[in-house]
Structure 1
Amino acid sequence: MTVQPATANLLAWLVMLPLAAAVLTMLLPLRLRAAASLVLLAPMTLLALMLGAALATHGPFVLALGGWATPLGIALQADGPAVGMTLLTVAISVPCAIHAAAYLRGHAEAEYFWALFWFLWASLNTIWMSTDIFNLYVGIELLGLAAVGLVALRGDAEALAAAMRYLLAALLGSLAYLIGVALLYGGHGSLSLAHLAQTDHAQATTAVALAAMSLGLALKTALFPLHAWLPPAHGGALTPVSALLSALVIKASFFIMLRLWFALAPPGLSTAATLLGLLGAFAVFWGGWKALRQSRLKHLVAYSTVAQIGYLFLFFPLAIGTGEAAARLAWDGTMLMLISHALAKAAMFLAAGNLILAIGSPRIADLAGIGRYRQFSLLSFGIAGVGIMGLPPSGGFGAKWLLMQSALAGGGWLWVAVLIGGGLLSAAYVFKVFRHAFIEGPKRDRFEDPPAALEITALVLALVSLMIGLAAHGPLTWLRLGTPFGVSE
């Protein structure tokens, strides 16, 4: 749809402003970087809200940068998934930034955090709105570099080792993705997703390219059994970094995979879709079991992310070859799961970090007695856990309900069992934390008091993750715009 230039330019501003903020925060004196970043949160939020209003008013639209239309030029698009993820990025990044400003006050890590934070945000927005596979590659590369830098900020041996493993995984994933890009360009002479969607998908080149790119993106998403890099990176990073990585960064590579499969998937891919679903099922149970076995709190939450990633990959067997009704339910359930998990996991990491600050130890066993003194942190962790377990009225419950309806509509009883079994495992590791927290422990002088901003940001995210299930209809309708599951305008 054609829109006014000022409206279309919102897409460019959402990439350029965080890039400018990254440069600005590097140039400013260290004492001003956090304050400047907090001020810049307001225009970023306003731009995202204006983009959402434009989508609701005009429907999906495209901005051709420099006036060159695709496939010759670079374009940014505002469809349902792009705008939805842009708004989700704001909803996660703003509380994490406020949390980080208090968490890093007086710490050396703050020197580079803010520039990397803004580069990360610019990369995410680039990925959400890109319309060709090479720009998606550029976005995912910049995202990986920013994420690795954030993981390494702590500077100790554990953080540096985790960052190196993350970097190697990111580079291998990028190599596989780039091989697919080269094959597609050699076979079709275009990198535009819209143009590639109109080409002959039955070509062997297309299938091989899609397989290579999917493998690379599965590694970046930490799909079982390619997940070994994730728990050390997410569990060992600074708390606000862990929240950003788990809530947003791993979703970016999954988002690209969805874009690619919509545009490139040849007919008869049910076997490949089932394979992805089975890997997702293994992830649900392996990640849940490993989370239950962890002795360190943030590593428990990190392995929970491995498990929750598995639910996203159930989309492929539920949506491919199962009929229109089942596919739409699978899309709605997957997108709601993505949003709910992002909010709940960000809250859970922030709450876990608050508990670790209070007890001065990362060990779950050392939580004994904290139930009397850090009620808000435990409340935030518990509310987030409701979403992770999939209990009503959380978004996690709505997502699992939709996925279960899709599975039943397509006769996929195996996927129903995965959804139920995964929920039980989630309950086990969430209640493990509370079992230790309410054991009678030492007296009050053992615990520290984290700043109020740390408690509030975790609680706000947890409450939003709980309430999103009650207001999911409107967002899900928007998220279908511009996809095979909804109207195009």
Structure 2
Amino acid sequence: MMWRFGLYDPSFDPLWMTHWALAGALLLPIMAGLLGAIFRPSRALPVVLACMPILVAGVLMVIDYQQAGLLRWQWVIGDIEFTLRFSGLSALMLLITQWTAAAVAMYTPGYLRLTYPDLNNRWIWPLMGLLVSALSLIWLAADLLTLYAALEIMGLAAVGMLLLSGKPAALKAGMRYLLLALVGSLAFLLGIALLLSQWGSLNLAVLVELVEQEPITWVAAALMGAGLALKAALFPLHGWLTPVHENAWTPVSALHAALVIKASLYILILLWSILLPETLLAPRLIAWLGMLAIVWGGLVAWRADSLKTLIASSTVGQLGYLMVAFPLLLGPGIAPLPLALAWDGFWLHLMGHALAKAAMFMAAGNLIIATGESSLNALAGTSRRLPLSLLIFGIASVTLMGLPPSAGFTAKWLLLQSMVLTQQWVAVAALMAGTLLTAAYVFRVFRYSFDETAPRHDYQPLAPGMDLIALCLAVAALALGLLAHLPLALLHGGGA
């Protein structure tokens, strides 16, 4: 399993160009965010120009990885060692982060111009840049200190973005999120302290060789797992998620649901692969909670009255699909074929969900802006005036439902194959039930939208490009299922 995370010694050093690309991937988002705070772009074109160097840096790193294989950087400052590794998984997560964040950034000027034209919104740009840099660092970090620092920076930036609207409800939800995030950080930090005191190293590759299965390791894994589960809104620690999205700006919700909660889940699967290899109880507990999450999230979304509540609740259920895969990735006695299928399905679902959920939040934001209402009842008759926004919502929903040819279908097919081979029939039933529940709450949205007896209302026109940007993300999630061999080849180290 460890080679999949790049925790081994590489054969080649990074090219000189890659050092600059690494600096660009980590620092350019912060610099672009500072420029945004100074100039406050009101159109998408300046944002496109600012995003181009960041995207180029990510592509250059991927090209170097395909030529040289695993890339590794290491610095020692005093007695502290910092290590970065760029594997196939890192490459995929970095690309998803950069392109999704770029789409959200291009969507933001039009959104702010229509919703908060008089508000001093300059701070969204540096916070967004800091968030993207922290996420990029998480995908590359190979020591616990760097992981912890990047996780805290990401969390603080996310909280800052949630508080930007200044509404009392947003302040309350943001402060609640901050408090719970700090509790999760404390548990994570206590786990790091236990590992350092027992094994004397924070380097993940060293811990792979040193860690033994004993009580202190289990306690550290439990503390870190609980803290990360709270940050990732895994069931049943998801209570903070819906209030946060109900009161957040649409670009903030899109980034948070697509990327932020995935970072904590990534760290959880990485650390448990080191601390709890071939363990039965912990992965099985996560899987049972994941099955409950699929059903609970679907039922809450089905009964939701608010569009944002529906989408936020669906996130709980979609994360359940990833939780169900834990025994396939970490459990004892899993044969190579089911393990490989589950590994591919897990990350493909995560990437497809990131793209589709960002597109869905943007489409919902467009519907809310145009109608001036956030309830499902207010969508009545929108099919006549906002067909493109509804089309985007529908295309994104195809991925969430797992219908062909989307990334959701391919990912669920891989996971189902792995579950059938390992005879996990309850998990198979949970995935099938989740698909039906997703279809139920998605078609509930369209039932209101296509109500032709609804009176005609005045709609606020959208800014140019807002629907187009969301459409690109939704189509990308769809195309990811047809072209799944490309990211999966990179995930397997293709070209190295």
- TM-score using structure 1 length: 0.94
Tell me what 1:275 maps to: 285
Distance, in Å, in 2 between the alignment partners of 1:284 and 1:391 is 17
Instruction: Kindly indicate whether residue 460 of structure 2 is the aligned counterpart of residue 452 of structure 1.
Output: no
Partner of 1:368: 380
Q: Show CA shifts across 1:10-50 (max 9, x none).
A: 22321122223334444x24468976544220100111111
1:232 is displaced (CA, Å) by 1.0
Shift in Å, 1:294: 0.7
| Letter of the 1:89 counterpart | T
Q: 2:84 aligns with which of 58, 76, 83?
A: 76
Equivalent-residue separation in structure 2 for 1:272 and 1:70 (angstroms): 37
What TM-score do the two structures reach when normalised by structure 2? Answer: 0.93
How far apart, in 2, do the equivalents of 1:450 and 1:34 lie? Answer: 14
For structure 1, which segment, 201-210 or 105-114, has the greater mean C-alpha deviation from structure 2 after superposition? 105-114
Is the Cα contact below 8 Å between 1:291 and 1:429 reproduced in 2?
Answer: yes
| Aligned CA distance change for structure 1 residues 198 and 424 (closer, same or farther; 3 Å) | same
Contact 1:329 1:402 in 2 (8 A): yes
Equivalent residue number for residue 243 of structure 2 = 232
Q: Which moved more, 1:109-118 or 1:248-257?
A: 109-118
* Residue type of the alignment partner of 1:298: K
**Superposition map of 1:132-211 within 5 A:** 132-211=143-222
- 1:292 Cα deviation from its structure 2 partner: 0.6
Matches within 5 A, 1:7-156: 7-26=18-37, 28-30=38-40, 37-65=47-75, 68=76, 72-105=80-113, 106-108=117-119, 110-156=121-167
**Contact map agreement 1:25 1:36 (CA 8 A) in 2:** no
Q: Distance in 1 between matches of 2:120 and 2:256?
A: 17
Map residues 205-220 of structure 1 onto 2, 5 A cutoff.
Answer: 205-220=216-231
Conserved 8 A contact 2:44-2:107: no
Distance across 2 between alignment mates of 1:216 and 1:6: 37
Structure 1 unaligned regions, length at least 5: none
Deviation of 1:400 (Å): 0.4
Instruction: Return the alpha-carbon distance in structure 2 between the equivalents of residues 24 and 175 of structure 1.
Output: 33
User: 1:181-225: per-residue Cα shift (whole Å, max 9, x none)?
Assistant: 000000111101111011132132222111110110000010111
What is the CA-CA distance between 1:407 and the residue it aligns to? Answer: 0.3
Deviation at 1:72, TM superposition (A): 4.9
- Structure 2 unaligned runs (5+)? 1-11
8 A Cα contact 2:258 2:358, kept in partner: yes
8 Å Cα contact 2:213-2:275 kept in structure 1 = no
CA distance in 2, matches of 1:368, 1:229: 29
Higher alpha-carbon deviation: 245-254 or 469-478: 469-478
- Identify the match of residue 245 of structure 1 among 256, 272, 276: 256
Which whole-Å CA distance do the structure 2 matches of 1:384 and 1:266 have between them?
35
For 1:441 and 1:29, how far apart are their aligned partners in 2? 46
TM-aligned CA deviation for residue 444 of structure 1: 4.2
1:395 CA displacement: 0.2
Equivalent residue number for residue 419 of structure 1: 431
Q: Tell me, in whole angstroms, the C-alpha distance in 1 between the residues paired with 2:44 and 2:485.
A: 36
Q: CA offsets, 1:156-194, max 9 Å, x none?
A: 111111101111111111011000000000011110111
- Asked whether the 8 Å contact 1:96–1:240 carries over to 2, the reply is yes
Following the alignment from structure 1 to structure 2, what is the Cα–Cα distance between the partners of residues 35 and 457? Answer: 13
The equivalent of 2:358 in structure 1 is 346
Q: Percent identity?
A: 43
Q: Tell me the distance in 1 between the aligned counterparts of 2:315 and 2:446.
A: 19
For residues 445 and 428 of structure 1, the distance between their equivalents in structure 2, rounded to whole angstroms, comes to 27
Shift of 1:452: 2.5
Q: Secondary structure of 1:77's partner?
A: strand
Q: Which amino acid aligns with 1:333?
A: G
What is the aligned residue count?
480
1:337 corresponds in structure 2 to 349
Residue 94 of structure 1 deviates from its aligned partner by: 1.2
**Dislocated runs of 4+, deviation >6 Å:** 32-35
1:294 to 2:304 alignment: yes
* CA displacement 1:298-357 (0-9 Å, x = unmatched): 110000011111111122112222222111111100000000100110010000011111
| 1:359-390 Cα deviation digits (max 9, x unpaired) | 11001011111111100000000000000000
Q: 1:443 to 1:33 in 2, by over 3 A?
A: closer
SS of equivalent residue, structure 1 residue 75: strand
RMSD: 1.9
